[in-house]
Structure 1
Amino acid sequence: MTFSIVGRCAETGQLGIAISSSSIAVGARCPWLRAGVGAVSSQNITLPALGPQILDELAGGLTPQQALDQTLIRNGYSQYRQVTVIDAQGRTALFSGSQSLGTHHAVVGQQCVAAGNLLANRAVIDAMVAAFERSEGCLAARLVTALQAGQDAGGEAGAVHSAALSVVGELTWPIVDLRVDWAEESPIGELGRLWQAYQPQLQDYLTRALDPTQAPRYGVPGDE
C-alpha cells in the first residue's frame, strides 16, 4: 500500500520524506516533520496521530526508539502500524507490526530509513536505501531519486496513485511540500516533475517570506 524513505542531509541538517501509495492523498496522512526535531513516516494502516506524538517525544529529549516505543504503546493496535523515524542528529528507529500488509520490509541506511508494505518484492526497499546513499545534491533531489529507484525495482504489488515530498530546514515551515494526491499513472514521475519546476524557485519563496523588500518580481498583475 505504501513505500517511503525518511532522510537527513549531514551537511545542512535538513530532514525530509518522500512517499508513495496506492491510496489517495498519502501526503495528507503519513509524512510528519518538524524542523530541528525529526521526521516520521506513519504508514500501513495509518494512525496520523503517531507522527505528531513521536515528534513531541523527540522534542522532549527521547531517542527515536524510545519515542517510537512509547507512542505505539500509548495508542495500541501496534500490530497494524509501520513507522520509521529519524531525528535531528541522524539517529533512527523503525517498526513493522505483525499485521503489516503483504510483502513488507524496512531498512536503516546511512542518514536514512526506508520501509514499505504490500510491496512487489523486498528489494524495493533495499534499492531505495542504496539510491539515497550513493546520490548527490540537495536532500529533496536525493529523496526523489530514492523513491523512483523503489518504483523501478518493482514498487507496490499494484498501481500507485499518490506521492509526496516534504523537507524542513532551519525555518518553522517546510521549505518543500509537494504532493500528487491522485494520478491514474506515474504519480512518482509527476512528483519528480513538480520538484524540477519548484527547485529553481525555492530560494525565491524563502526570500519573499523573510525579506519582502528583496522579493523577485515575476511580471504578474499587481507585481510592480
Structure 2
Amino acid sequence: MTFSLLGRCARTGQFGAAVTTSSIAVGTRVPFLAAGVGGVLTQHRTDPRLGPRGIELLRSGCSAPEALEALVASTPHHRWRQVAVMDRSGATAHFDGANVKPARSVAHGKDVVALGNILANEDVAPAMAAAFLDAPGQPLAERLMRALEAGEAAGGEHGDVTSACLMVVDRECFPYVDLRIDKDPAPLPALRRLWEEYAPLADGFVRRAVDPDDAPII
C-alpha cells in the first residue's frame, strides 16, 4: 500500500525521493539516497537493509540494473520485495517480486522511476512520472511533490495514506531536504505545507553548516 518515486535533476545533480503509504514512519524505511551516487526504494514487505546495501553497490560503480540484480540475489525473500534503483547517471531499474500484491504500477522516464503496490489502479505510477517530467524547470523537491500529488489524484493506494516523506540530497553528506509526515489523515497536503515553508530556508541551512560566518539568521 505504497507509492513512491526516485528523481534526478540533471542541472544540479541532486537526487530525490518521495513516498506515501498507509503505515507509520515511511520515511525511515523506504527511501535511501546518497549525494553524487543515486538512490534506492525498498517497499511492500519492506526490508530497509536493502537500501544501504544498494547505495554501497552504486557507490562501488554498479549501474542501476547491476545493483538491482545484486540486491535481488542477496535476499532469499525477494518474492515479497518491490525495489527501484537509480544510479548516478539517472538510469533506473526496478523489481516486482512474485508475491507483491496488485494493483502494481511502475513507470520509467528520463531521470525518474515511479512505482507502487496495492494501488487503486495501474495508472498511478505513469501519472507520477508524467507530473515529474512536466515540470523540468522547477526545483527537484517541487517536481517530486507534484508527482506524489499526481499519484494520489490518479487513485493512489487501495486504502487511506497516513504518512509521507520528501527527501533530496545535493552535495553534502546530509540531506538538502528531509521532511516527514506521520499519522496524519491527509499527509500529502501536510507535506505540501511543510515543503513550502521549508523551501526558502533550505539553502540557508546548508550555509550554516559549510560557512557559518556568513550564514543567515533563520
TM-score greater than 0.5 by the shorter chain: yes
Partner of 1:166: 167
Give 1:198 shift. 0.2
TM-score normalised according to structure 1 size: 0.95
Partner of 2:74: 74
Structure 1 unaligned regions, length at least 5: 219-224
Q: 2:32 corresponds to which letter in structure 1? A: W
Give 1:152 shift. 0.6
Q: What is the 5 A alignment of 1:158-197?
A: 158-183=159-184, 185-197=185-197
Q: 1:91 corresponds to which letter in structure 2? A: A
Which structure has the larger Rg over C-alpha atoms?
A: 1
Aligned counterparts of 1:163 and 1:122: Cα–Cα separation in 2: 20
Aligned counterparts of 2:10 and 2:77: Cα–Cα separation in 1: 34
Q: Which stretches of structure 1, 4 residues or more, deviate above 6 A after TM superposition?
A: none
Partner of 1:137: 138
Q: What is the 5 A alignment of 1:59-208?
A: 59-135=59-135, 136-183=137-184, 185-208=185-208
Give 1:63 shift. 1.1
Q: 1:175 corresponds to which letter in structure 2? A: Y
Work out whether residues 80 and 100 of structure 2, in 8 Å CA contact, stay in contact via their aligned partners in 1: yes
Work out whether residues 96 and 106 of structure 1, in 8 Å CA contact, stay in contact via their aligned partners in 2: no
Aligned counterparts of 1:62 and 1:39: Cα–Cα separation in 2: 12
What is the number of residues matched between the two proteins? 217
Partner of 1:10: 10
RMSD over aligned CA atoms reads 0.9
CA deviation map 1:174-203 (0-9, x unaligned): 1000000221x2101111111000001111
Q: 2:13 corresponds to which letter in structure 1? A: G
Give 1:80 shift. 0.5
Give 1:54 shift. 0.8
Work out whether residues 6 and 112 of structure 2, in 8 Å CA contact, stay in contact via their aligned partners in 1: yes
Aligned counterparts of 1:176 and 1:217: Cα–Cα separation in 2: 18
Work out whether residues 40 and 51 of structure 1, in 8 Å CA contact, stay in contact via their aligned partners in 2: yes
TM-score normalised according to structure 2 size: 0.97
Which has the higher mean CA deviation after the structures are superposed, 49-58 or 209-218? 209-218
